[in-house]
Structure 1
Amino acid sequence: MSKHGTTIGFLVLLLGAFCIKQRLKHQKDAEIRKLFFEQNGGGMLRQRLSGVGPSNVDIKIFTEEGMKTATNGYDKSRILGEGGQGTVYKGILLDKSIVAIKKARLGDCSQVEQFINEVLVLSQINHRNVVKILGCCLETEVPLLVYEFITNGTLFDHLHASMLDSFLTWEHRLRIAIEVAGTLAYLHSSASIPIIHRDVKTANILLDENLTAKVADFGASRLIPMDKEQLTTMVQGTLGYLDPEYYDTGLLNEKSDVYSFGVVLMELLTGQKAMCFERQQYSKHLVSYFASTTKENRLDEIIDGQMMSADTHKEIHEVAKIAVWCTRLTGEERPRMKEIATELEGLRVATTKHGKLDQYPETEEIEHLPGNHNLSARGDTSSSGYDSIKIVPRLDIETGR
């Protein structure tokens, strides 16, 4: 064999060895991706999605390479936020669309169940005030969830000076409260399978460019069984928002969301945090602080002064009553979310139609407004015979549109 032939033969062998090595690498990578897919609950997710009824959302499966490219290798400059459930990155897909990508914390096995649960829950929701899930990636070391990108931060950011150039007027705050209340009412009563959020707080309410509310973070949520029994669970929720009944019963239900929403209302009214250790010793918890000032007829002292005026005073005090009603100590004394949504919408209808609430409509007109029963009679939500399901003319909570 000639020297030239020997060289060619060597190159062929080298090329063959390289191809074999690459093929083995691809096989190994495929096996690793398959292993991660199963470890991240891919099989369980498929099984559960097929068992909860038809999905309202198309869940796209993203590749590992696609996620790495979208986040520029999970570059720190792409981090939008970090929390108990992991890190959220800004992602840019190949079609140039912008998304939010949530990556679970490495080494936290409990995250897998929460991520599967979030996909399961969000697959049942199609509502304009809920952050949409676009898909997931399960072939990475930790699971990733992909959501629509909401541009304007969280309600917490806007209320608590994280966004220094932001101020929410009373009109903004009332509308946000109505949108969130309507969303929770939809989840509890009108979704294809009723859902308890279980972590309602201002940090889980996003705002878009129009300051429209988008409820987010359903990792702690649960689909309610058909018999609607209360659900025993590991500790969920956030200090300051957590239903006090949970400490006695270990149970969370729809009324737990009501309590948390009441705290959100108090934040909207005061601009203060749910828990603040800079307040006086007896009033670190906003609910206690709010209740004591209300009882002592000093509520105006803690209302955000920038939005208080002669035109808004009456309306603000009516919403304050609703907030106190929502945070009653026992769940049976609290209203349902449909009642709350109707009450809040009724305030907006009255204000829009008649200007200031001080110029309230005549009695016969009030009878035809939603939420017309006595706001002061908060202890009993059933004895009046009132059924908010039948009179929600403007909330559109049945269809989520």
Structure 2
Amino acid sequence: MVIKLVGNRRLGGSKGERKKAFEKNGGVLLEKLVAYCDGRPIPIRGFSYEELRRATNNYDQGCVLQVSQWYTWYKGSLDGRIVSIKKYAEDSTFSDFSFTDIAMSAKTSSHKNVLRLVGCCLETQLPTLVFEFAGNGFLSERVYQCNIHGYPREHPPMAWQIRLKIAREIAHAISYIHTAFSRPIIHRDIKPGNIFLDQHNVPKLADFSLSIPIPEGETHIEDKVHGSYGFLCPNYLATGRATEKTDVYSFGMLLLVLSTGQRSYVPQATTHEDSLVNYIRKCTISEIVDPAILAEEGGAGVEQQLQAVRELVLRCMDENPEMRPTMVDVTKELRRIERFMP
């Protein structure tokens, strides 16, 4: 296997800790790449700590795109090019996730609907990742009717055909990671907050930190449960067994969120019975769909599409994983639904 880490590794003179971090992290990354990338040569550009510090104006708060428990996304400028920089919290608890993120992102970046890894910096306690920039931000900022505090959305509502296209393209990306490699990759955290939109609203699946490959010849892998509340497959939550159908369930919830603009759970929910999917099982699509979609011109054509999407959601989120479609079939069905153009 050929590992290329290209670029200047300026350590900032007396910063011996950065040199130690670089050497330690380089070894761990090599192990991850060997384990996950099937011996294929993967060039990964290396950036110095100083380069990324300058790119973000010393990680200025004005450059922050999103903050999570594990990491912060920054907007930065490198060599005259705008990039997204993912800086993990300096907590050793997240170490394995950060290296998995690099290895899996490098492996899957060739797909047009996966956020492309540009390179990384190994001079920090945990690696800092550099990705392409997607100008329209996160899907989570655009799709919900209200923010987490209950205030109405700031952005204009997304047109239904754009939402449908986003769903189909993300389905294709998930289908790709499930089928393009000798070991299917399970993403395990499919949700609007892990999807970027570029300036043309082309979606980019991101955050492979929780991803895990299924061993060759196996149909599942057992592991500690990881994911996001509201999008977690109940079977996986109960058994710790991750399969391709684990992602199918999460995608079903994503598709439901795109259709309704609602959160994946009812505020103050305490049980699975309070989840959004249980509401749609009891209601017609017209009762729960985002009113902005119903306000569009389209008539019967849009109604047909919405009903077909509702049926696909329920299939993806079937309580029996074996009854759920594959992501290949989901992609085909969404392409068919798109043809019902109003």
Question: Which bracket does the TM-score occupy, shorter chain normalised?
Answer: 0.7 to 0.9
Give SS of 1:91's match: strand
Partners of 1:99 and 1:147 within 8 A in 2? yes
Match of 2:304 in 1: 314
Q: Please say which of residues 133-142 and 175-184 is displaced more in the overlay.
A: 133-142
Deviations 1:233-278 (A, max 9, x none): 2231111000000232111111010000000111111111102317
Which letter maps to 2:33? L
Q: Does 1:135 align with 2:125?
A: no
Does the 8 Å CA contact 2:44/2:120 hold for their aligned counterparts? yes
Asked whether the equivalents of residues 184 and 244 of structure 2 are also in contact (C-alpha less than 8 Å), the reply is: no
- State the AA in 2 paired with 1:33: R
**Aligned pair 1:304/2:290, yes or no?**
yes
CA RMSD of aligned residues (A): 2.2
Q: Distance in 2 between matches of 1:82 and 1:137?
A: 19
Judge conservation of contact 1:55–1:123 (CA < 8 Å) in 2: no
Contact 2:315 2:324 (8 Å CA) reproduced: yes
Distance in 2 between residues matched to 1:142 and 1:159, nearest whole Å: 32
TM-aligned CA deviation for residue 176 of structure 1: 0.8
| Contact kept in structure 1, 2:190 and 2:250, CA below 8 Å | yes
Q: Secondary structure at the match of 1:42?
A: helix
The structure with more radius of gyration: 1
Kept in 2: contact 1:124–1:191 (CA 8 A): no
The 1-side partners of 2:29 and 2:124 are apart by: 15
Instruction: Please say if residues 231 and 250 of structure 2, whose CA atoms lie closer than 8 Å, have aligned partners that are also in contact.
Output: yes
Could you say if the C-alpha distance between residues 303 and 242 of structure 1 is closer, same or farther in structure 2, counting changes exceeding 3 Å? same
Q: Which residue of 2 aligns with 1:76?
A: 61
- Cα offsets for 1:284-308 (capped at 9, x unmatched): 3111111122xxxx33111122213
Partner of 1:253: 243
- Once the two structures are superposed, the pairs formed by residues 1-400 of structure 1 within 5 Å of their partners are 26=13, 29=15, 31-39=16-24, 41-51=25-35, 52-55=37-40, 58-93=43-78, 95-106=79-90, 108-125=91-108, 126-160=110-144, 161=146, 164-191=154-181, 193-277=183-267, 284-293=274-283, 298-308=284-294, 309-349=299-339, 351-352=340-341, 356=342
Counterpart residue identity of residue 348, structure 1: E
Retained in 2: the 8 A contact 1:124–1:192?
no
What is the alpha-carbon distance in structure 1 between the residues aligned to residue 272 and residue 209 of structure 2? 32
Higher strand residue share = 2
Identity of aligned residues (%): 34
Indicate how the Cα distance of structure 1 residues 282 and 43 shifts in structure 2: closer, same or farther if over 3 A, else same.
closer
* TM-aligned CA deviation for residue 214 of structure 1: 0.8
Question: Which amino acid in 2 is paired with 1:188?
Answer: H
What is the CA distance between 1:280 and its match in structure 2? 11
Question: Matched residues in 2 for 1:56 and 1:306: separation?
Answer: 47
User: Which runs of 5 or more structure 1 residues have no equivalent in the other structure?
Assistant: 1-24, 357-401
SS in 1 for 2:131: strand
Q: CA deviation at 1:192?
A: 6.1
Structure 2 CA distance, aligned partners of 1:227 and 1:190?
15
Give me the TM-score of the superposition, normalised by structure 1: 0.75
Quickly say closer, same or farther: Cα 1:250–1:291, change in 2 above 3 A: same
1:278 to 1:310, Cα distance in 2 relative to 1, 3 A: farther
- Determine helix, strand or coil for the equivalent of 1:59: strand
TM-score, normalised with respect to structure 2: 0.87
Asked if the contact 2:245–2:326 (Cα under 8 Å) also holds between the matched residues in 1, the reply is yes
Alpha carbons 1:121, 1:223 under 8 Å: kept? no
In structure 1, what is the Cα distance between the partners aligned to 2:111 and 2:329? 19
Secondary structure (helix, strand or coil) at the match of 1:227 reads coil
State the aligned residue count: 319
Runs of 5+ consecutive residues of structure 2 not aligned to the other structure: 1-11, 148-152
Once the two structures are overlaid, the 10-residue window that deviates more, 317-326 or 79-88, is 79-88
Residue type of the partner of 1:204? N
User: Does the 8 A contact of 1:179 with 1:213 survive in 2?
Assistant: yes
Counterpart for residue 3 of structure 2:
none
